[in-house]
Chain A
Amino acid sequence: MAMMMKTRNRAVSRGALLLALCVLALATGCREGALSYEYADTSQVPTPGQTTPDEGGKDNNQSPDDPLEDPPIVIPDGPMAGRSPMRLLTRYEYDNTTSALFGFTIAAAADFPSENLADGFENNAWTHNVNMTLLRAYINASESISARAWEDPPAALSGCVGNAPSSALCQEGIADFVTQAFRRPAYDDEVALYQKLYRDMRSSDGARAAFETTVQAILQSPQFLYRLELFEPSPMKLPPRDGGMDAERFELVGPYEMASRLSYFIWGTMPDDELLAAAERGDLNTPEVLSAQVARMLADPRAKEMTRQFHRQWLGLDAFGSVVKDETAFPVWEDGMSQDLRLSIEAFIEHVYWEEGVFDAFMTSPAVFLTPELAPVYGKAVNEQSGGLWREDFPAEERAGILTQPGMMALLAYPNQGSPIFRAIWVRERLLCQHMPPPPSDIQIEPPDPDPNATTREVFAIHTANEACAECHLLIDPLGFGFEGYDALGRWRDVENGKAVDTSGELIGSPEQAMNGPFDGAVELANRLADSETIAKCISKQWFTFAMGRPHDTSDADSMSRIYEQFLQNDTAFTALFEAIVLSDSFRYRKRPEVAQAEFEEANPDLVAMETPAEEQGGE
């Protein structure tokens, strides 16, 4: 009885989901060309002076039959830099920063509400923002940290604690500490506000309260919580390179701001002493110095944290916390294995990025990292000497890269069966940077009532038998079917319910014709895509998004092409990708304040009318 019910659930979960999706996609007029993709490379971006092309790069929200509705954009000559909005520290950035600042670790941000996501990333400048719950959490965190700091003060504030600390000495220390906390020299008026708080609290409540409240105020101030690039001319001046940046419109990002861009990108924390010293000297302005810093930082173990955090977000690894598997269908499964699978993926990433170091390994490495609990699930003996996590190289026919990692297959699945849909959409969205067109506006709904006893394949057949359904589903189903060789736990299988598994699939609609076509099994797909430009470009784009805290836009087109070129020319070494991002114009330059202001005013006349008079512009 239980088995029968389970079979019905299989049909319910998989088949009904697909039928419902089919209903949603009826008469959608999907066709291969309707997939849009977001990587802006030079072949898509118009040459200077031209308007946007009318092929490729179609707006995602347009029906395939409509012409572009947006007015043509004229792209100015030469390279450009995009926006650099202020960025709220994410949870792990907050914890890393407070650890570095105070010299002790209180993981206070574990209690913060989770960040709002944008394309899976937590650090989007506009999407990750404050709310009332977070503000209260900041209060709590700052109070815990300040209490601990009284016992264990950072060097700059050591003059503030103890039995009878000197108020004058403490206030000097506050000035130093604020500069560290702000990651830049503080202005006198900024420091003065904290010093006043200290003095007032000292006389009303005593030395300890004065110290703690001052620390709390620093930790809740915008200059601490945000990476804010001040609206003042950058002191780093370089003549533009030939044919390069338009010096009338763009300038180098300021030295301390560059230090923060580097440290938060590569280490997820505030700049270290060496970066701050370089900033003070005004050194972070040439490609040579930047390359040297990048190399130094990548050699530091904190850089591994960067790749771990990136992949946690990009691959959605937090969802492992929600994964359960049906113990009746999979008696071998135990609670806690999803956490092991997460470690397995993290170890794979670390191996591919830091030991193999190239994109090809990401796509084709047969390495799978196992724990003593996982080993028997995937048919391997426990390695007693391993210290809990070790590498196994699986047969090349069974495993190739990220596409076939057991953890990913288990994540992209239901409790009791795999999901071709989840897997296909993941490949499209995350690896190919493609997304589906929306259903059209004239759908008629016929509520589906699938036979609960139908097998999955019978249900699938209804999709492709119906012409209207088939058009869209050809973009998903055949791609997902190629993964049928991996069950809900990500185990390799060649039989299912006594029958040979059919792993034939097809990729259509990718931007490279050479990548399209039938394939048999995800391993073949992985090897084919390893030679693909599309995924390599998509990965460049994802890293750019992560590094910049925003997706790329048309003004980053030149930077994106150069980044990608560097990646390719260095045999897709990841270190080359990271360096290329740092050396790109988008990372190093920004619009000059007066240009940004003029453009903003032009675009937002109503807002400007409300602004206070513009005697506030630039620094002191």
Chain B
Amino acid sequence: MIKKRFGRRHFLRGMGGVAFALPLLSTGIVARDARAETTTEGVTFPKRFVFMIHPNGVIPQAWFPTRGASGEDSDFQLGETHAPLEPLKDKLLLLENVNLEVGNWDRAVGPGEPHQKGMGGILTGRTLNDGQFVGGDGSRAGWGSGQSIDHYLAERVGKNTPLPTLHVGVRADSHIGSEVRSRVSYTASNQPAPPLNDPVDVFNLMFTDAMTDPGAMDEIKRRRGSVLDTVGSQFDSVYKRAGYEDRLTLERHLKMVRDLESRLSAEGGGIGGDCEKPDTPPSLEVDSEDTMPQIATEHLDLVALALACDMTRFVTLQFSNSKNGLRYPWVDSFGDGHGLSHAGPSNETAAKELRARDRWHAQQAAYLLQKLDEIPEGDGTLLDNTVFVWCSEIAVGNTHSHRNLPILMAGSAGGYFKTGRFVSYGSERSTNDLLVNILNAFGQDVETYGDPQYCNGPLSGLT
């Protein structure tokens, strides 16, 4: 891989093979938080966090690596599921014996059943609110009860990027719509952030203007700013005439309007920014097994572009949801996903289908990570400045256990994590602990995240 110096334009292959230019990352664009950036030769690159999730667990025998004879963390063979990630092995970090403690359903931990708890707890580090969503066993639960780390970070880092966060879904709302089993990201308790399932919607979010002419862009931004300013004043006007309960709603909405306003007016920011806009993605049937692989690819291309153009630093990528009534016919899996995941270990037919699905998910991860690794940033690549985390909301579909959650990480967040290892914990640790590691990687001096009774501080041995 030839490393290019900062100052040249670099190209990514976009949708339909159309090449598009990356922006020149100037210090005016990136955040000024040195700890959330990597600086090489005086040029600063931001750090990113990307979270990927697929539902209903994995086949552990295919997921977890095998250790080499030396017993060193760096001496391991990737599991069969992760064969597509072999070329990136030295940038991976796999974990063992980290539990989703806020779910751990064999001990009573909050309302809900394991799928609900997993989805609502993995990034928030908290148990669920009480509520009326009916889970697979009839249990009831509400939404997640806290802010997920992507939004926590977005409030503190990269405050000038056009999009605070980007949430992308591949059939994320299938069968059940927007409820606790189909959301992982939360701005706050009871405030889920919806993933966009249609690549055209993601595209429109990223590039709302046909203009690439900077003068026209400035005009649009200025007008939008005036509109939002008037809108903000209307909030003030209504606020004094609204009841107390309604004031809370108004405040919450207004805060978002102000955030939007500031991002739109940021120097070098704004929708579109310096990135050349690629072609619009094709308009595909969005909730269909026939288009699912193609839609996944479109989304991954857009995510790579969004990160490369510094449109956002924080991405969640969600495949399906934990009800998962999907077939994966392109890998010859014709069973209902959720039903298959319940099969016992003796059921080889089901295991074969599940392994094929897991492998396909790994191919998606590999596609994205490869793309990120092809974008030079200083002496390294965009992937080097990223921390990517992939897991599922339960460990194994058959038992619904939250113990030993399958977690694969990639990227070192600018050298913060020591990658190329398979790290196993002797005593059980919590996914909340990993959230702390990630926050620390972004220069956030916290020792706990989410519910502190399920957090022991950052995981050791990752840096």
Contact = CB atoms under 8 A, between A and B. Distances in A.
Interface of A: 5, 8-9, 12-14, 16-17, 19-21, 23-25, 60-61, 83, 85-86, 111, 113-119, 126-127, 129-136, 139-140, 142, 187, 189-190, 193-194, 196-197, 200-201, 205, 209, 213, 216-217, 220-223, 226, 228-232, 316, 318-319, 321-322, 324, 326, 328, 414-416, 425, 428-429, 435-445, 447-452, 476, 551, 593, 596-597, 600-601, 604, 607-608, 611, 616, 618-619
Contacts of B187: 131-132
Contacts of A416: 334
A16 B325 contact: no
B260 A127 contact: no
Given A452-B343, A551-B132, 14 more contacts: A8-B350, A13-B335, A16-B398, A132-B163, A197-B226, A217-B234, A319-B176, A414-B339, A425-B138, A435-B140, A439-B137, A439-B139, A452-B349, A607-B244
B339 A14 contact: yes
Contact of A12 (B105, B237, B242, B335): B335
A17 B338 contact: yes
Contact of A127 (B163, B190, B239): B190
B259 interface: yes
Contacts of A476: 138
B26 interface: no
A201 B223 contact: yes
26 contacts: A12-B342, A16-B344, A23-B399, A111-B204, A114-B178, A116-B178, A117-B179, A132-B259, A133-B205, A135-B260, A136-B205, A193-B237, A194-B230, A217-B231, A228-B238, A230-B241, A321-B287, A429-B134, A440-B108, A447-B345, A449-B345, A450-B343, A452-B349, A600-B243, A607-B248, A616-B239
Contact of B164 (A132, A140, A232, A618): A132
B173 A449 contact: no
A126 B88 CA distance: 45
B121 interface: no
Interface of B: 105-108, 111, 113-114, 130-134, 136-140, 143, 163-165, 167, 171, 173-179, 187, 190-194, 196, 201, 204-205, 208, 219, 223-224, 226-228, 230-231, 233-235, 237-246, 248-250, 252-253, 256-257, 259-260, 287, 289, 325-327, 334-336, 338-340, 342-350, 398-401
Contact of A61 (B130, B219, B235): B130
Given A135-B260, A449-B345, A616-B240, A114 B173 contact: yes
Contacts of B289: 324
Report which residue of B108, B250, B344 has the largest number of chain A beta carbons within 10 angstroms of its beta carbon: B344
Contacts of A131: 187, 191-194, 256
B340 A593 contact: no
A213 B326 CA distance: 44
B260 A136 contact: yes
Contact of B196 (A130, A133, A140, A328): A133
Contact of A600 (B178, B193, B233, B245): B245
Contacts of A196: 230
B230 A318 contact: no
Nearest to A328: B334
A223 B236 CA distance: 11
A60 B196 CA distance: 34
A451 B346 contact: yes
B231 A12 contact: no
Contact of A9 (B204, B235, B243, B334): B334
A316 B340 CA distance: 24
Contacts of A226: 249
A438 B260 contact: no
Contacts of A608: 244
A115 B240 CA distance: 28
